[in-house]
Amino acid sequence: MFISYRRATSWPLALLIRNTLEGRGYDVFVDVAHLGRGNFRERVLREIDDRAHVVVVLQPATVFDAARSESDWMQLEIAHAFSVGRNVVPAMELGFRFDINGPLPSGIAGLAHMNGVEFPPGYFDAAMERLADTFLAPLTTSAVDADTSSSPLEEDAPQARPAASDQDARGVSRAAVPPVGIDLLARLGTSVVDARRGVARLHPEVIGALGLEYWDAIRVTGARSTVALVGPAPQPSAPGTAILDETAMVNAGVVDGSTVGISAAPVVAARSVELAGSRLAVKALPPETLRAALIGKVLLPGDTLSLLPQDVAPVPGADAAGARRELAAALGGTWTTELVTVTAAQAPPDADPFSALVVAPTTTVRWRDGASTSGPGRYP
């Protein structure tokens, strides 16, 4: 499926929706993650042509201006989806209104009459269940062009859905009392050192109040929960803020200025981690190289991770420099922008349900429906 969104304001929610759907087995296109070289307009419109569903992310800051109908890419994407008969599904955050800027432009006026999914605060998982089960079910073949050589219905459709149980995706019990935490104002960090490494920086007094040491793991909760490594915020900084790198912000499903819950997260080594990535990454990267790139990173199922080695708090024995060389040899200069999604992860049987999982040399790392490491990694 294709996700249309306003990049300036909605990229965290768009990527969060993408990650969740990919975790369910859908093939999802988001321009920020998948566009390579070539004509931008042709590539985007071709991706819409090739997919059965178009999810439109709508937030209170999303407005449409008729005067910009020919230059606004979001409007062009929606209008094209209607013109080729795709299943258009509005994904609406609480507070969005279709008439906030007057009537919708004529090319996308039908959007206001489409059934959609609302995303109230704190109910992201329930909204995603409704989106997948009600609105993204397979369509009849009449929904797509008769002369399409390969059906986008097969491409969009999930391959499998795990049965509900009393365990989460990490294989541990759901029933537990969450640790005590604090609500803070999320701010997007700009540090090159932290970029795309899953780092949150807090005031030293807040770190101490939570009983944490520098580079312990914390749970960050916005529209969904994720985990990050915690470090001291640069001074002077306000005790009421949490400075998140863009990976942590996307994984929590928040934007700059949102409120996030912060709490301590015990760390356990993951027994196994399953990942989805680009076609290039899956083809070029052996699981052993993938594991070397992720050593020391904390994660939860559904998180997006970069391949930049975790070097803010180096793991003893890990070879970050060697991992960089292997990544560059396999992927070329684009390796620093590659992202992978955690589709499943298994914790030890006795792990705290609120723990953060860390990739260790003993963790089995595999591509979804692909190759897997065969044993513990070798490190100097």
Whether 228 contacts 198, CB under 8 Å: yes
Handedness of CA 14, 17, 20, 24 (dihedral sign): negative
What is the three-class DSSP state of 367? Answer: strand
Residue 372 pLDDT exceeds 90? yes
Closest CA to 187 of 252, 104, 117: 252
pLDDT value, residue 32: 58
Using CA atoms, how far residue 111 sits from 64, 215, 264, in Å, is: 11, 46, 42
Domain ranges of the chain: 2-156, 182-267, 268-367
Backbone angles phi, psi at 30, to 5 degrees: -130, 125
Write down the residue that tokens 């589709």 correspond to.
Answer: 343
**CATH node for 2-156:** 3.40.50
Encoded amino acid at 198, one letter: G
Fold of 182-267: Barwin-like endoglucanases (2.40.40)
Residue 204: phi, psi to the nearest 5?
-55, -35
What class does CATH assign to 268-367?
alpha beta
What does the pLDDT read at residue 19? 79
The most confident of the ranges 139-148, 186-195, 283-292 is: 283-292
Per-residue pLDDT of 114-165, as tens digits, reads 989 998 877 888 888 889 888 887 644 333 444 444 444 444 544 433 333 4
pLDDT at 51 over 60: yes
Question: Alpha helix locations (H) across the chain?
Answer: 7-23, 31-34, 40-49, 73-83, 124-130, 152-156, 204-209, 246-252, 279-284, 287-294, 320-331
Beta strands 259-264; 217-221: pairing state: antiparallel
**pLDDT for 59-111, tens place per residue?**
888 888 878 877 888 999 999 999 999 999 999 988 888 887 788 888 899 99
Tell me the one-letter amino acid at 355: S
Mean pLDDT lowest among 131-145, 281-295, 311-325, 326-340: 131-145
Share of the chain above pLDDT 70, in %: 84
pLDDT value at residue 171: 45
Mean pLDDT on 4-9:
84
Token pair listed for 263:
């709490």
Asked if residue 195 has pLDDT above 90, the reply is no
Query: What does pTM read for this prediction?
Result: 0.61
For residue 373, the tally of other CB atoms under 10 A from its CB is 21
Mean pLDDT taken over the chain: 83
> Which has the minimum average pLDDT: 29-43, 133-147, 351-365?
133-147
How high is the pLDDT of residue 24? 81
Whether 300 and 357 have beta carbons less than 8 Å apart is answered as yes
Residue 215 has pLDDT above 90, yes or no: yes
